[in-house]
Amino acid sequence: MTTTTRKSAYRQGIIDSSPFILVIIPFATLFGVLATEAGLNVLETMAFSIVVIAGAAQFTALQLMQENTPTVIVLISALAVNLRMAMYSASLTPYIGAAPLWQRALCAYVTVDQSYVVGVSKFEREPDMTVPERVAYFMGAVTPIVPLWYVFTLVGALVGTRVPESWALDFAIPIAFLAMIAPMFRTAAHVVAALTAVVVALLAAGVPYSLGLIIAGIAGMIAGAQTELWFERKGAPK
Amino acid sequence: MIETGTLWTIIILLGIGSFGLRFVFTGLVGNRAMPDWLLRHLRYTAVAILPALVAPQVMWPTATDGVFDIPRAAAAVVTLTVGLATKNVLWAVFSGAATLYGLLFLLG
């Protein structure tokens, strides 16, 4: 384990997550704009993005606060939106659980959808990476994302103009995630997991507190695990 | 109007809660071995959660007030197909974006 391989892992992380730059900019700007419109000053808006650092949960909290929802309900709703982060944490543990505590804490703070998907797909592809390389790669993957999240929250709060809707940047998020997930379908079990999760997510879209997503995720994971077991019992190649 | 006290309570508690969710396994389990059945499920976390996150946005995009939109749905299909075929993230992103803007322009 040398400094050079850590540095190159870090650089590779930056390169691999750079497609998300286009996603983060309009999303962060929009949060800055909406928070300002809701009456938050620049300090409060920035504190929100820096302390919470979770797009969808921030939008949820902001919306509910404006509707004068009781604080407890705001917290439960926003944390429910973020519940998938606990699943990301579990899924990252086999890869970076052996890192020093401060590094795990730092990785936890910057675990967002984008850094998670970039990180976990790399760790799956290259099982021989060392733990320090994985941490370096993960930190690389957040480098184009998290600073831009702060900066463009600020831009949105100060400038107050959102990216025009006709640019259709709302759809940058689904496109970026789909592009990132596609290479991860390495076995039939992965495909079954994804299809199950999609069907359940659509059926459970009306479940309150965004819990439909968690139900769909767990259903997909069970389907994937069962498919894997089924292939193992058949003795067929996975 | 949101009260300052309430706002800061929410920012701080939400920050602690979000960090807690992100740290719960990497922090508490750390280097200890996890049971095989759990690891088997965790292998499918990414391919289950992310498609589940995206699917409703593809079917009912916020930008169209939840009305099914051909350019967006087509862009999703093209992105996934190119991604599966080429295993190349950038090609998938560019073909998806080209489909989206092409169809938005044509059907505009």
Name, in order, each residue with C-beta under 8 angstroms of B47's C-beta and a sequence gap of 6 or more. A181, A184, A185, A190, A193, A194, A197, A220, A224
- Which residue segment(s) compose the domain that B62 sits in? 54-107
Residue A228: pLDDT band (50, 70, 90) is very high
Residue A237: pLDDT band (50, 70, 90) is low
Vertex A127: Cα angle to A121 and A131 (nearest 5):
95
Task: Verify that A172 and A220 share a domain, yes or no.
Answer: no
Interface predicted TM-score (ipTM) of this complex, two decimals: 0.90
- Give the best residue of A24, A63, A166, A171 to mutate against chain B (max B CB count within 10 A): A171
CA max distance for chain A: 62
Q: pLDDT tens digits for A123-147?
A: 999 999 999 999 999 999 999 999 9
Distance from CA of A102 to the nearest CA of B (A): 9
Does residue A230 have a pLDDT over 60? Answer: yes
Of A178, A220, A225, the CB nearest to B79: A178
Name, in order, each residue with C-beta under 8 angstroms of A66's C-beta and a sequence gap of 6 or more. A38, B2
Domain boundary among A142, A162, A182: A182
Examine residue B35 and state whether it is found in any structural domain, yes or no.
no
Which one, of B43, B45, B52, lies nearest residue A228 by Cα?
A: B43
Does residue A54 have a pLDDT over 90? Answer: no
Lowest mean pLDDT among A101-110, A155-164, A175-184, B91-100: A155-164
Q: What is chain B's length? A: 108
Examine residue B99 and state whether it is found in any structural domain, yes or no.
yes
The first and second tokens of residue A74, run together, are 């705001």
Predicted pLDDT at A60: 87
Count of structural domains within chain B: 1
Q: pLDDT tens digits for B14-50?
A: 999 999 999 999 999 999 999 999 999 999 999 999 9
Vertex A115: Cα angle to B15 and A89 (nearest 5):
60
Task: Verify that A198 and A133 share a domain, yes or no.
Answer: no
Examine residue B45 and state whether it is found in any structural domain, yes or no.
no
Of B25, B48, B55, the CB nearest to A224: B48
Task: Verify that A163 and A148 share a domain, yes or no.
Answer: yes
Nearest residue in B to A176, CA atom: B93
Task: Verify that A70 and A40 share a domain, yes or no.
Answer: yes
Task: Verify that A168 and A196 share a domain, yes or no.
Answer: no
Q: Percentage of chain B surpassing pLDDT 70? A: 99
Count of structural domains within chain A: 2
CA distances from A130 to A58, A94, A112, A126, A135 (A): 34, 12, 22, 10, 9
Report, as an integer, the average pLDDT of A49-77. 89
Query: Do A194 and B51 count as a contact with CB atoms less than 8 A apart?
Result: yes
- Which residue segment(s) compose the domain that A18 sits in? 3-182
Return the exposure string of A67-106: e unless at least 16 CB atoms fall within 10 Å of the residue's CB, then b.
Answer: eeeebeebbebbbbbbbbbbbbbbbbbbbbbbbeeebbeb
B97 contacts in chain A (CB < 8 Å): 172, 175
Task: Verify that A109 and A38 share a domain, yes or no.
Answer: yes
A124 contacts in chain B (CB < 8 Å): 43
> How many pairs of residues across A and B have Cβ atoms under 8 Å apart?
280
Task: Verify that A177 and A199 share a domain, yes or no.
Answer: no
